[in-house]
Structure 1
Amino acid sequence: MPNISIRGKRMPQSPIRKLAPYADIAVQKGHKVYHLNIGQPDIKSPELAIEALRNFELDIIEYGPSAGFDSYRKKLAKFYNDQDIDVNFEDIMITTGGSEALLFALGSIMDPGDEIIIPEPFYANYIAFSEESSATVVPVNTVLENGFALPSMDAFEKAITPKTKAILICNPSNPTGNLYSEDEIKQLGEIVKKHDLFLIADEVYRKFIYDGDEFFSVMNLVGLEQNVIMIDSVSKRYSMCGARIGCMVTQNKQVIATAMKFAQARLCPPTIGQIACEAAIATPQSYFDEVIAEYKERRDTLVAELDKIKGVVVNKPKAAFYCIVELPVDNTEDFAQWLLEKYDLNGETVMISPASGFYSTPGLGLNQVRIAYVLKKEDLIQAVHILKDAIQVYNKQKEINTVEANS
């Protein structure tokens, strides 16, 4: 039998999606599954985007430009300009989701064996994207005890080697829900400048910030225009995950020109998705005000309910709609599968994402999960109620199994 590639063998499974077959089986058994595992908002997409799709009248859905439609890029540039980010449409490349934007960025700047420093825990697919780009991830650990604050600059300095090519951050953070301050971003900028590195920032959750905190984009770092690459997406901003439209933004013309080669190889980003997204840019601020208020209430509800469970540790997220939760179980990978395969409470169970998949350092996150608070408040309350019962049942079964094994 022919061999699978080494790269294919090294590609990690998604901790968010790999348990999906077990969830499917649970549903087939007639169980209701509360999905706390994936950041698929239940918020309605903007009516402007939906209306644009309803009025779609092209006779032929043709290839578009590899960089995306100029009309969309120009409106997107104005969107950023209105947020005090000084870019023009030629600094923007439209991509098939934020994932492709990051792949293009890594493919444009990383050589085999180059290292990219990432604060962990981080979005699980960063490992997969780095693997596809033959880059080596160098993690810098953050901890739940201080809200997963950005590591000290000394920690970054110690992680830098002659092979270091870039630092990658997600701000606001998926999976921790943390928000890096302007001061933290500027300190990171100083390190990037000192070592002449690229700074890639995944800023797709920029709209979801709570409690009066303010967002500071890496695109506002003065003197680092050639070092900074921003990744963005409409998936969460407009609750349009299926549109598969994102973008890569940089004022580094060489990076844009290199990324264009990758863009041409995949031909073009989705035409229909761009039509919907171009219309969505005109979405009024009132839409976001309502969405942010809803997520804030969901966050507060989730944290309040989790705090009622003995042994559970959780910080209140500052942004996005995720949090890392420490559970009183020894292995959340096993626990998450058990929830779907062997447990239910009155025909209901929950699906969670084991957090170990969001770390690249072996052994970390074994008793943690990522929870996405994208369900309505009533469902969040019920899901946590189920989780509380499940933890008790699971640990009791573990104790019984241990006693039987030792007898």
Structure 2
Amino acid sequence: MPVVSSKGKAMPESPIRKLAPFAEKAVKEGKHIYHLNIGQPDIKTPTEALEAVRNHTVDVLAYSHSAGFESFRKKLAGFYAKHDITISSDDILVTTGGSEALIFTMGSITDPGDEIIVPEPFYANYYSFSTQSTIKVVPVISKIETGFALPAIKEFEKLITTKTKAILICNPGNPTGYLYSKEEIQQLAELAIKHDLFLISDEVYRDFVYDGSDHYSILQERDLNEHAIVIDSVSKRYSMCGARIGCMVSKNKSVIQTAMKFAQARLSPPTFAQIASEAALEAPESYYKETVAKYKERRDTLVSGLREIPGVKVAIPNGAFYCIAELPINDTDHFAEWLLDKFDVDKQTVMLAPASGFYSSPNEGKNQVRIAYVLNRRDLKKAITILKLALEKYTNS
């Protein structure tokens, strides 16, 4: 009997989606689920994007350029210019989501067996993409006690070997919501230059920062031009997750030219999604301000509610729309299943993402969960109440 590949067997399950069968069963039993497990915004997509698709003048749904529409890339360059980032359209490669940008990046800069250092907890698909690329993720652990701040640079240096090709960060972070400071970015830039490494920054949440903080991109470090690769996406910025449009950005011509060969192999990014994404760039400044204000209110509601639950520890996120919470239990994988399968309050329950799936180090994050605060404040308050009651019953059973 033919067997699947060892690489296929090694591919991890999504920690976000592996609970889907339990959720489907709960819904069939008539339960309402408050989804705190997945970063699917409920913010409306900009009308500019939707109208561009509705009012299109396309007669033939043809391939686009493999790098994406030139008009789109030029507008993206203009978007970055507003954030003190000077790039040209030739420095941008449009991809089918930020996921493809990461896969192209790994394929362009690594060979089988190479290593990438990543602060953990990290976005779970980094591990999946590295498995596809037959490379190794080397974790450097950040701690909830420091709010998941950048680990000491000496901890990174301890892990650098002849196989190390890059350091990968998410800024602001998924799943932690941590926003790296300018000083932390500069420390990483110095390290990348010192050891001749690439510095990859996943900046898909760059617009969601709070408390008067500013996002500082690796592309603002002028001496890092040959080392810096940014991953971006319209998914969260414009609440367009289904568009599947992202991009990779780098001033390193060799990297972009290499990634282009991967892009040519998949022909082109989707045409209608590019039309919508290009139009979304015309959204007024008020769209961003209103969206960020909503997420800040939700963050504050979630954090204050979690802190009222005995035994719960939470790091305040300064960006994105996620946080990591430490619960007074030993196994959040079991607890998350139990919530869906065995518990409800008036036929209502919550769905969480166990944080162990965001670590590659064994036994890390077993008592933590990632929570996405993408629900409205009323639903968040209900979800927190349900979680409090669930923890009381679970810990006393």
TM-score by length of 2: 0.99
Give the secondary-structure state (helix, strand or coil) at the position aligned to 1:199: strand
Give the secondary-structure state (helix, strand or coil) at the position aligned to 1:40: coil
Which residue identity is paired with 2:303?
A: V
RMSD of aligned alpha carbons: 0.7
Structure 1 equivalent of residue 276 of structure 2: 276
Give the secondary-structure state (helix, strand or coil) at the position aligned to 2:223: coil
Structure 2 equivalent of residue 349 of structure 1: 349
Give the secondary-structure state (helix, strand or coil) at the position aligned to 1:306: helix
Give the deviation of 1:221 after TM superposition.
1.1
CA–CA separation in structure 1 for the residues paired with 2:63 and 2:17: 31
Structure 1 equivalent of residue 263 of structure 2: 263
Q: Residue 182 in 1 paired to residue 182 in 2?
A: yes
Q: Unaligned regions of 5+ residues in structure 2, if any?
A: none
Give the deviation of 1:60 after TM superposition.
1.9
Give the deviation of 1:213 after TM superposition.
0.8
Structure 2 equivalent of residue 202 of structure 1: 202
Spell out, residue by residue over 1:244-281, the C-alpha distance to the aligned partner (whole angstroms, 9 max, x if none). Answer: 00000001111111101110111110111100010010
CA–CA separation in structure 1 for the residues paired with 2:395 and 2:300: 27
% same residue = 62
Give the deviation of 1:53 after TM superposition.
1.5
CA–CA separation in structure 1 for the residues paired with 2:205 and 2:104: 20
Which residue identity is paired with 2:2?
A: P
CA–CA separation in structure 2 for the residues paired with 1:379 and 1:139: 35
> Which runs of structure 2 are paired with 1:3-18 in the superposition (5 Å)?
3-18=3-18
Structure 2 equivalent of residue 191 of structure 1: 191
CA–CA separation in structure 2 for the residues paired with 1:351 and 1:56: 39
Give the deviation of 1:367 after TM superposition.
0.3
CA–CA separation in structure 2 for the residues paired with 1:245 and 1:100: 9
Spell out, residue by residue over 1:16-50, the C-alpha distance to the aligned partner (whole angstroms, 9 max, x if none). Answer: 11111111111111100000000000000111111
Which residue identity is paired with 1:121?
A: P
CA–CA separation in structure 2 for the residues paired with 1:82 and 1:304: 34
Spell out, residue by residue over 1:176-228, the C-alpha distance to the aligned partner (whole angstroms, 9 max, x if none). Answer: 01000001000110000000000000000000000011111000112111111
CA–CA separation in structure 1 for the residues paired with 2:70 and 2:316: 40
Q: How many residues align?
A: 397
Structure 1 equivalent of residue 285 of structure 2: 285
Which residue identity is paired with 1:301?
A: T
Structure 1 equivalent of residue 213 of structure 2: 213
Which residue identity is paired with 1:10?
A: A
Which residue identity is paired with 2:336?
A: A
CA–CA separation in structure 2 for the residues paired with 1:342 and 1:41: 27
Q: Residue 105 in 1 paired to residue 105 in 2?
A: yes
Structure 1 equivalent of residue 78 of structure 2: 78
CA–CA separation in structure 2 for the residues paired with 1:12 and 1:115: 18
Structure 2 equivalent of residue 400 of structure 1: none
Which residue identity is paired with 1:245?
A: I
Q: Unaligned regions of 5+ residues in structure 1, if any?
A: 398-407
Give the secondary-structure state (helix, strand or coil) at the position aligned to 1:104: helix
TM-score by length of 1: 0.97
CA–CA separation in structure 2 for the residues paired with 1:329 and 1:345: 20
Which residue identity is paired with 1:78?
A: G
Structure 1 equivalent of residue 294 of structure 2: 294
Structure 2 equivalent of residue 404 of structure 1: none
Q: Residue 122 in 1 paired to residue 132 in 2?
A: no
> Which runs of structure 2 are paired with 1:204-243 in the superposition (5 Å)?
204-243=204-243
Give the deviation of 1:11 after TM superposition.
0.4
Structure 2 equivalent of residue 381 of structure 1: 381
Give the secondary-structure state (helix, strand or coil) at the position aligned to 2:179: coil
Structure 1 equivalent of residue 24 of structure 2: 24
